[in-house]
């Protein structure tokens, strides 16, 4: 029986047979030879997730002064049942991610279908053919106890195996550019030694041909400026030796808009890796701080968001104050402080730990419980309470559910025996919470709701007229605004229609 990989929308894609796999190897060689004859360098992007797939399209879209493509890109995705579907989807010119950025489908069609210089594969042998590998393997932190990030650690076994695969195939001239957010010390203490070990097994003299390893972290914002956040944004980079630095600078300068957004070179890959984890820790601490003040504001009748707007007018020092919300999600802020904290002892043997960083993760991980506290103040019991959760992705106008605070919200509501229905216009399936079906039609979640939670600020939700919501509900639910998605006029409209309204940091709302 043929194995299949199932896409989030339910479409089944047959996994390659042995004969098809053998044919694929020949196709890769043929394509690479043809592209080299055109004077193009060959790039492989390892991992076609939210960062890797769009990064691959941006690399393929890069042109020289005459408007000709500089690179041919092989996107590589492991041949697993969970993710192989991305290969045929990409090769049809369709992005494997959902986003509000209109440029995403355009750049995939342009590079795959029109220019024909971006193609996906699951064959590991592709790495033997390339000049550059951009590593975008997912690397996560494990937090074994909820709200106790200090117990967190990093299991780098899958990442190590991905790097080992590169060492078994790449040529000595190939630069390995780690774009994945990794614990500080990873390039020097993990990537470089593995490549040296595999080179030595293959008979490559590592003194004459030391592995070329560089690090440059992404700052991807998978929303309305998805593509721009890769191509038109500042980059930090470094390498393990001068040649790595030189090749990395050349590659990034060819691909990114460095004239408007100049590169920043740091002294070592340790510094570049620390820069990413510290950058996201700063944001995590900033957000955690606002929750304390949001709770204070709720108790004394103050709108924390108006206070925040007033503070942010102080340009240059206070304009980057972030906002409280349902919680913090996504692939970076939820784990990067844990990665750095783990690296202190595990990779460097350093004493101490990152106290503020870890405390911020604990505050942010448990933040969704505050929304439940708000609901409990209005209902004696949550048992059989019908709750409609609007938004399960971690960020507005994207379909990424990784570490979404909505997961914690729904899980704890269900523990209190509430009847929860979830809606999201960008999400087809919720792999982190498979037992909850995500609806794309509001008519499937709103009818008879006792509570409607505006959990994520998707554009569709912000445009909903209160009367239309209540017409679907056929009830007068409690409306909960998790992060200032509803302005005062909208709140007053809901109240005028007979609803109670509550919100995170919205102490100014009176019945």
| Nearest Cα residue to 339 out of 401, 395, 266, 278 | 278
Express each pLDDT in 208-249 by its tens digit: 999 999 999 999 888 889 999 999 999 999 999 999 999 999
CB atoms within 10 A of CB 21: 14
How far CA 271 is from CA of 21, 25, 278, 332, 351, in Å, comes to 41, 38, 10, 18, 18
For residue 54, the surrounding DSSP H or E stretch is helix 52-61
Give residue 303's pLDDT: 97
CB distance 502 to 480 below 8 Å? yes
Could you please report the per-residue DSSP string of 114-144? IS--EEEE--GGGGGG-SEEEE-----EE--
CB distance 509 to 503 below 8 Å? yes
CB distance 284 to 341 below 8 Å? no
Give residue 289's pLDDT: 94
Written in H, E and C, the secondary structure of 149-178 is: HHHCEECCHHHHHHHHHHHHHCCCCCEEEE
CB distance 478 to 375 below 8 Å? yes
State yes or no: pLDDT of 90 exceeds 80. Answer: yes
Question: For residues 81 and 87, what is the distance between their CA atoms, to the nearest angstrom?
Answer: 11
Percentage of the chain beyond pLDDT 70 is 100
Confidence of residue 2 (pLDDT cuts 50, 70, 90): low
State yes or no: pLDDT of 252 exceeds 80. Answer: yes
Give residue 293's pLDDT: 96
Express each pLDDT in 317-338 by its tens digit: 999 999 999 988 877 878 899 9
Give residue 311's pLDDT: 96
Confidence of residue 41 (pLDDT cuts 50, 70, 90): very high
Express each pLDDT in 143-181 by its tens digit: 999 999 999 999 999 999 999 999 999 999 999 999 999
pLDDT, average across residues 470-483? 97
CB-based contacts of 372, cutoff 8 Å, min separation 6: 382, 409, 412, 413, 416
CB distance 175 to 247 below 8 Å? yes
Confidence of residue 475 (pLDDT cuts 50, 70, 90): very high
Confidence of residue 9 (pLDDT cuts 50, 70, 90): confident
Give residue 140's pLDDT: 86
Express each pLDDT in 107-119 by its tens digit: 999 999 999 999 9
Question: For residues 396 and 120, what is the distance between their CA atoms, to the nearest angstrom?
Answer: 28
Question: For residues 371 and 368, what is the distance between their CA atoms, to the nearest angstrom?
Answer: 5
Express each pLDDT in 362-394 by its tens digit: 999 999 999 999 999 999 899 999 999 999 999
Express each pLDDT in 428-463 by its tens digit: 889 899 999 999 999 999 999 999 999 999 999 999
Give residue 98's pLDDT: 83
| Nearest Cα residue to 60 out of 106, 98, 26 | 106
Question: For residues 403 and 204, what is the distance between their CA atoms, to the nearest angstrom?
Answer: 42
State yes or no: pLDDT of 291 exceeds 60. Answer: yes
Give residue 1's pLDDT: 55
Q: Which burial class, exposed, middle or buried, applies to 121 when counting CB atoms under 10 A from its CB (0-12, 13-18, 19+)?
A: buried
Confidence of residue 468 (pLDDT cuts 50, 70, 90): very high
Confidence of residue 402 (pLDDT cuts 50, 70, 90): confident
Average pLDDT of the chain is 95
Could you identify the residue written with the tokens 């304009």?
A: 319
Give residue 138's pLDDT: 86
| Nearest Cα residue to 491 out of 477, 476, 504, 481 | 481
Question: For residues 507 and 297, what is the distance between their CA atoms, to the nearest angstrom?
Answer: 6
pLDDT, average across residues 126-133? 98
CB distance 432 to 402 below 8 Å? yes
């Amino acid at each position: 029986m043929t194995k299949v990989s199932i896409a989030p929308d339910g479409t089944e894609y047959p996994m390659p047979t042995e004969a098809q796999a053998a044919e694929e190897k020949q196709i890769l060689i043929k394509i690479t030879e043809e592209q080299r004859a055109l004077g193009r360098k060959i790039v492989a992007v390892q991992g076609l997730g939210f960062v890797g797939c769009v990064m691959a399209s941006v690399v393929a879209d890069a042109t020289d002064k005459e408007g000709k493509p500089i690179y041919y890109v092989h996107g590589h995705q492991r041949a697993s049942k969970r993710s192989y579907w991305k290969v045929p989807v990409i090769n049809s010119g369709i992005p494997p991610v959902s986003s509000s950025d209109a440029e995403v489908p355009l750049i995939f069609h342009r590079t795959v279908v029109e220019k024909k210089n971006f193609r996906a594969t699951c064959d590991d042998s592709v790495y033997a053919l390339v000049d550059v590998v951009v590593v975008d393997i997912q690397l996560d932190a494990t937090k074994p106890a909820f709200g106790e990030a200090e117990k967190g650690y990093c299991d780098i076994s899958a990442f190590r195996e991905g790097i080992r695969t590169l060492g078994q195939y790449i040529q000595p001239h190939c630069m390995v550019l780690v774009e994945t957010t990794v614990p500080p010390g990873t390039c020097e203490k993990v990537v470089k030694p593995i490549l040296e070990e595999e080179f030595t097994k293959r008979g490559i003299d590592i003194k004459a041909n030391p592995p070329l390893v560089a690090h440059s972290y992404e700052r991807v914002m998978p929303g309305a400026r998805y593509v721009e956040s890769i191509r038109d944004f500042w980059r930090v980079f470094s390498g393990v030796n001068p040649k790595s630095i030189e090749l990395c600078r050349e590659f990034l300068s060819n691909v990114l808009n460095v004239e408007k957004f100049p590169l920043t070179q740091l002294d070592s890959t340790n510094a570049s890796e620390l820069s990413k984890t510290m950058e996201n820790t700063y944001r995590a601490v900033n957000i955690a701080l606002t929750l304390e003040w949001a709770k204070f504001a709720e108790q004394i009748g103050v709108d924390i968001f108006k206070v925040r707007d007033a503070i942010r007018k102080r340009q240059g020092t206070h304009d980057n104050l972030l906002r409280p919300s349902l919680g913090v999600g996504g692939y970076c802020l939820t784990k990067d402080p844990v990665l750095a904290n783990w690296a202190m002892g595990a990779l460097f043997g350093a004493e101490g730990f990152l106290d503020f960083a870890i405390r911020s993760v604990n505050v942010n991980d448990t933040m969704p419980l505050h929304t439940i506290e708000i609901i409990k103040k209005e209902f004696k019991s949550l048992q059989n309470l019908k709750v409609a959760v609007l938004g399960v992705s971690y960020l507005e106008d994207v379909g990424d559910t990784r570490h979404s605070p909505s997961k914690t919200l729904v899980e704890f509501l269900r523990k209190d025996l509430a009847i929860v229905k979830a809606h999201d216009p960008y999400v087809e399936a919720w792999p982190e919470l498979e037992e909850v079906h995500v609806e794309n039609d509001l008519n499937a979640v709103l009818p008879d709701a006792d509570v409607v939670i505006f959990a994520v600020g998707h554009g569709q939700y912000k445009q909903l007229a209160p009367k239309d919501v209540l017409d679907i509900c056929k009830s007068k639910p409690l409306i909960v605004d998790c992060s200032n998605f509803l302005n005062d006029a909208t709140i007053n409209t809901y109240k005028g229609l007979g609803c109670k309204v509550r919100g995170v940091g919205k102490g100014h709302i009176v019945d």
